[in-house]
Each structure stands twice: as structure tokens, then as C-alpha cells.
A and B are shown apart, each in its own frame.
Chain A
């Protein structure tokens, strides 16, 4: 066993922390209020090598693991979840190409993501297909050498800013098993018939773009199929085993940031002629928050380390996702509580962190879905 990060991993953390602390704070409030994505920071993060570190060197990345990708996520989220999400979601969906794409597809689609020449995304969710992924209805019909796509997707990260998206479509509606009816198709967003509408007034992560998108007879060449036709559902399940990990890191980073804000506040704030920190109830709250964060971090790092060893343990990843997500929400809540009335006012960052936190229990598999996965591993299929 060895619970220590390597020297390289520690350097990555330090660099990511420095970058985030230097660049994010002055834009945090404005990007949140104006729902604006600071594009120049994404470019800068790309140029400094923070984006897509898990991408192999052949395709322009650093050839590191998901663990390193997670460490960067954690540090960025610690400083500002919204901006962090915008910057690091730029490669979201590239995992599908790396896992299932052809050599040609990888060479074509992946390198621009690292060089700040393109943003991608993954389009799965529909108005009536959330956790129940196999209810997706967007269709892709093969006509000659092209797929013709029709349908609507919602809650799509980067929908209005992405250059291309990996879209889950029904291609084999008559396949016997409902899980064998789907394919993943890459769609360039400048294709005719593609439309994206920004979803405004989200609870949190307002610096990050979320959109409803529609496909009206959008034609893409057959070569845009990622992986195997009819295996789209299964490919996405494998995809989630990877992407859930960085959500764990997001959650831990957010919780860590919230904890640190709480610590700073309780040391300064005086009530009853002494700092809040000197009250035992405050000390206990801080102890509980810190312990949960430590447990959550340890768990996701274990799951990410195993994945990087080629061992995908879906139930462990689901455990980490549920536990860290809940940790983020609880810690942010307690951290806001310790700020009292000031926590409710936008002057302090904690109000934003509180709003930002809730999504980590929802996206990439709600906590309810995670628990279903864990239970299945322990009880068998029921």
C-alpha cells in the first residue's frame, strides 16, 4: 500500500491551485451573475496543460491518468465551481472517442480539445429520459452514407459553445433488448438543422453553459458513428464509470473550499465576546466536515487509481460518487450556516458554493442511481 501522491501529482496539485487562485476569484461573482463563461481562462488553462491531461500524448494530451484529471478538477472547484466546470467540461465526451473511436476519429477530434481549438460535449438527456437513459427517443436514420438525426436533448453542458457533441441516438428501434437500440454519433454543431438554446437562471454553476438542443434533419456522415452501432447504451455506461470520477473530485474540491471559507469566517467572527471558533459546537462541526472530506477524497482517489490500473470497479465508483456528492451538499450547507446571515448574502462566496453544490448529487447519475448500482453489486440483480 501507499497512500502518498507521487511527486508529479503533488506538483500538478500545486500548479492547479496556483492557477485557480490567481485567475478565478476576480471573475467569480461577475461570471455567476451574468452567466458568462470566461473563454480566455479556458484558453489559458489549455495552454498551461490543465485541460485533458488524461488524453494520450499521441492525441495531444499529457498521457496521464484520470486520477490526475481528478486532482485538477478538485483544485479548480475548490476556488470556483462554476468557472472550473466551464473550463474542464471542454473535454467532456472525448472519453467516448478515446474508449471506442477509430484511430482516425481520435486523430481528428481529440487534439483540438487540448489546444483550445474546440470544445466538445456529450448529449444524452432528453426531456423524458433522465436517469432512465434507455428511454431516449432522438433518432438517427441511415440514408445512404449519412445519418439523419431528429430529436431534442436537454441539460446539455456546453450546448451553445461546443464545436461537436457525442449524441446518443436510437438507431435500431426494433432491437429485442431496449439496451441494444442505441448508437453514439458525433455531430458538428455547425451542421444545418442543429439548434441550441441556452438554459438560463440555473441554481448554480452559472459560469458554465447548459443548453437545450434540437436536431431537425441534421445530416452527418456515417463515419461519425463512434464505436459499434447498437452498442451506444453500453458504451455510455462505460463512459460514466470514467466521468463519475471527476464529479467526485468536483464534489471534494467544492467541499474543501467551503470548509476553508467556514474556518476563516469562524476564526474572525466574534459573538458573545469571543470568536465562533472557540465554541465547542463550532469545533465539532468543523471536525465532522473535515472527516467527511478526508473519507470522500480517499475513496475517490482509490477508485480513480484502480481505473488507471485498468480495473473498472463500477460499484466502487458509484460509492465514491454518492458519498462525495452528499459530502459536498452537507458541507456547503454547514459552512453557510456557520456564516449566519452573511452566508445568505452574496457578499461571501459561500452563498454561490451552496447553490453550486446541489448539482453533484444529480448529474452523471443521481445519488439514487448510484445506490442502485451499489446494491446490485452486493445483492445481485433483483
Chain B
């Protein structure tokens, strides 16, 4: 056993922290207030090597693992979740291409992401298909050498900013098994018939782009199929084993940032003639927060480490995702509570962190879906 990060991993963390504190923190409040998507910051981060580190060298990445990717996101989220989210979604879907894409697809689409020239997305969710992804009805029909896509997807990260999306489409409705009906297609967003409306009014994470997207007879060549026909559902599940770990890292980072803000605050804030840190109830709250974060981080790293050596353990990924995100929501709640009334105002960043946190328990598989996966697996009910 060895619970230590390697020197390289420690350096990556340090560099990511410096970048986040120097570049993300100053922009955070403003971008949140205005809902501004700061495209140039992606370019800057990409130049420093923070984008898509898990993408293989032959496709322009650093060839590192999920663990390094998670560490970077953890640091970004610790500093500023709203901008951290931008980086969580910049290469979102690239792992699917790495796992199932053709050589040409990987060569063509991955390296511009790493350079910060393009961003991508993965369009799965529909109005009537959330957790129940196998009920997606966006239709892709083969007409000659092309797929013709019709339908709409909701809550799609980077829907308006992406150069291309992976789209989860119904291609074989006649199949009896619900998990054999879908295929994943790569759709360039400049194709005629594609439309995206950015969503406004999200509770948090205002800087990042989330959109409803519409496909109206969008035609893509057959070569845009990612992986195999009918295999979309299975490919999607494989992808989630990876992407869930990234979200776990987001959760750990948000919780760490929230706790540090709480520590700062309670050491300064005086009530009843002494700092609130000197009250035992405060000390116990901080101790509980720190312990939960430690368990979440350790679990996330363990799951990442396993995935990076080819040992993809869906149960462990689900545990890390559920646990780390629950920790984030609980810790940020307690951290805001310790700020009292000030925590409710946007004078302090904790209010922004609080609003950002809730999504972690929802996207990439709600916590209920994670628990279903874990429980059914253990009980042999699948």
C-alpha cells in the first residue's frame, strides 16, 4: 500500500491551486452575477496543461489518468465552483471517444480540446428521460450514408458553446431490450437544423453554459457513429464510471473550499466576547466537516487509482460519487450556517458555493441512482 500522491501529482495539485487562486478567484463573483462564460480562461488553462490531462499523448493530451484530472478539478472547485464547472465540462465526453471512438475521430476531435480551441459536450438527458436514460426518444434514422436526427435534449452542458456534441440517440426502437435501442453519434453544432437555447435561472453555477438543444433533420455522415450501433446504453454506462469520479473530485474540492472559508470566518468572528471558534460546538462542527472530507477524498482517489490501472469498479465509482457529493452538500450547509446572516449575503463566497453544491447530487447520476447501483449489485438483484 501507499497512500501518498506521487511527486508529480503533488506538483500538479500545487500548480492547479496557484492557477485557481490567481486566475479563477478574481473572476468568480462577477461571472456568477452576470452569467458570463469566460472563454479566454479555458485557453489560458489549456496553455498551462490543465485541460484534458487524461487524453492520450497521441491525441494531444498528457496521457495522465483520472486521478490527475480529478486533482485538478478538485483544486479548481475548491477555489471557485462556478468556474470549476466550466472545466468539468470542457472535455466532457472525451472519455467516451477514447473508449469507443475510431482512430480518425480521436485524431480529429481530441487535440483541439486539449489546446482550448474547442469545447464539447455529451447530450443524453431529455424532458422525459432523466435517470431513466434508456427512455430517450431523440431519433436518428439511417438515410443512405447519413443519420438524420430529430428530437430535443435538455440541460446539456456546453449546448451553445460546444464545437461538437456526442448525442445519445434512439436508432433501433424495434429492439426488445431497452438497453439495445440506442447509439451514440457525434454531431458538429454547425450542422443545419441544430439549435441551442442557453438556460437562464439556474440556482447556481451561472458562469457555465447549460442549454436546451434541438435537432431538426440534422444530418451527419455514418462515420459519426461512436462505437457500435445498439451499443449506446452500454457505452454510456462505461463512460459514467469515469465521469462520476470527476464529479466526486468536484465535490471534494467544493467541500474543502467551503470548510476553509468557515475556518477563516470562525477564527475572526467574535460573539459573546470571544471568537466563535472558541465554542466547542464550532470545534465539533469543523472536526466533522474535516473528517467527512477526508473520507470522501480518500475514497475518490482510491476509485480513480483503480480506474487508471484498468480496474473499473462501478460499485466503487458509485460509492465515491454519492459519498463525496453528499459530503459537499452537508459541509457547505454547515459552513454557511457558521457564517450566520453574512453567509446569506453575497459578500462572502460561501453563498455561491452553497448554491453550486446541490447539482453535485443530481448530475452524472443522482444519488438515488448511485445507491441503486450499489445496493442491487451487493444484493445480486441486477
Contacts and interface: CB of A to CB of B under 8 A. Distances in A.
A294 B286 contact: no
A267 B376 CA distance: 11
Given A305-B1, A374-B290, A382-B283, A287 B371 contact: yes
Contacts of A287: 319, 322, 370-375, 378
Given A263-B379, A379-B266, A298 B372 contact: no
Interface stretch (B132-140, B150-158, B300-308, B348-356): B300-308
A306 B294 CA distance: 14
B275 A291 contact: no
Contact of A316 (B282, B294, B301, B368): B294
Pick from B287, B290, B294, B371 the residue with the most CB of A within 10 Å.
B287
A294 B1 contact: no
Contacts of A374: 286-287, 290-291
Contact of A263 (B298, B376, B378): B378
Interface stretch (B3-11, B34-42, B164-172): B3-11
B374 A372 contact: no
B316 interface: yes
Nearest to A308: B1
A262 to B, nearest CB: 10
Contacts of B174: none
B191 interface: no
A282 interface: yes
A319 B294 contact: yes
A317 to B, nearest CB: 11
Contacts of A319: 287, 290-291, 294-295
A283 B381 contact: yes
A283 B375 contact: yes
A199 interface: no
Contacts of B27: none
Interface residues of A, number: 49
Contact of B5 (A1, A266, A302): A1
B346 interface: no
A296 B378 contact: no
Given A291-B374, A374-B290, A378-B290, A286 B379 contact: yes
Interface string A121-164: 00000000000000000000000000000000000000000000
B76 interface: no
Contact of B375 (A286, A306, A315, A371): A286
A382 B294 contact: no
Contacts of A376: 283
A291 B286 CA distance: 22
Please report whether the interface of chain A is mostly helix, strand, loop or mixed according to DSSP.
helix
A192 B217 CA distance: 97
B288 interface: yes
A371 B295 contact: no
- The size class of the interface chain B forms with chain A is 35 or more
A295 interface: yes
B295 A299 contact: yes
A155 B287 CA distance: 28
A371 B287 contact: yes
Contacts of B299: 294-295, 298
Nearest to B4: A1
A2 B371 contact: no
Given A287-B372, A323-B295, A382 B275 contact: yes
A291 B300 CA distance: 12
Contacts of A316: 294
Pick from A278, A294, A370, A376 the residue with the most CB of B within 10 Å.
A294
Contacts of B375: 280, 282-287, 290
Given A1-B301, A371-B284, A296 B295 contact: yes
B122 interface: no
Please report whether the interface of chain B is mostly helix, strand, loop or mixed according to DSSP.
helix
Interface in B297-348: 298-299, 301-302, 305-306, 316, 319, 322-323
B98 interface: no
B263 A379 contact: yes
A277 B266 CA distance: 45
B291 A375 contact: no
A233 to B, nearest CB: 22
A322 B292 CA distance: 11
Nearest to B379: A277
A4 interface: yes
A279 to B, nearest CB: 10
A363 B323 CA distance: 27
Pick from A288, A318, A370 the residue with the most CB of B within 10 Å.
A288
B286 A306 contact: no
B372 A283 contact: yes
B319 A290 contact: yes
B270 interface: no
Nearest to B291: A319
A372 B280 CA distance: 8
Nearest to A286: B375
Contact of B263 (A4, A278, A378): A378
Contacts of A266: 379
Nearest to B2: A2
A3 B375 CA distance: 23
Given A290-B374, A291-B319, A372-B287, A1 B2 contact: yes
Contacts of A306: 3
A286 B319 CA distance: 12
Contact of A322 (B263, B291, B301): B291
Contacts of B371: 283-284, 287-288
Given A3-B1, A67-B1, A283-B371, A277 B381 contact: yes
A375 to B, nearest CB: 3
A6 interface: yes
A367 B226 CA distance: 52
A208 interface: no
Given A1-B3, A299-B294, A372-B287, 6 more contacts: A3-B302, A9-B1, A284-B372, A286-B379, A368-B284, A370-B287
Interface of B: 1-6, 9, 67, 263, 266-267, 275, 277-278, 280, 282-284, 286-288, 290-292, 294-296, 298-299, 301-302, 305-306, 316, 319, 322-323, 368, 370-376, 378-381
6 contacts: A1-B4, A67-B1, A280-B372, A294-B316, A299-B295, A302-B298
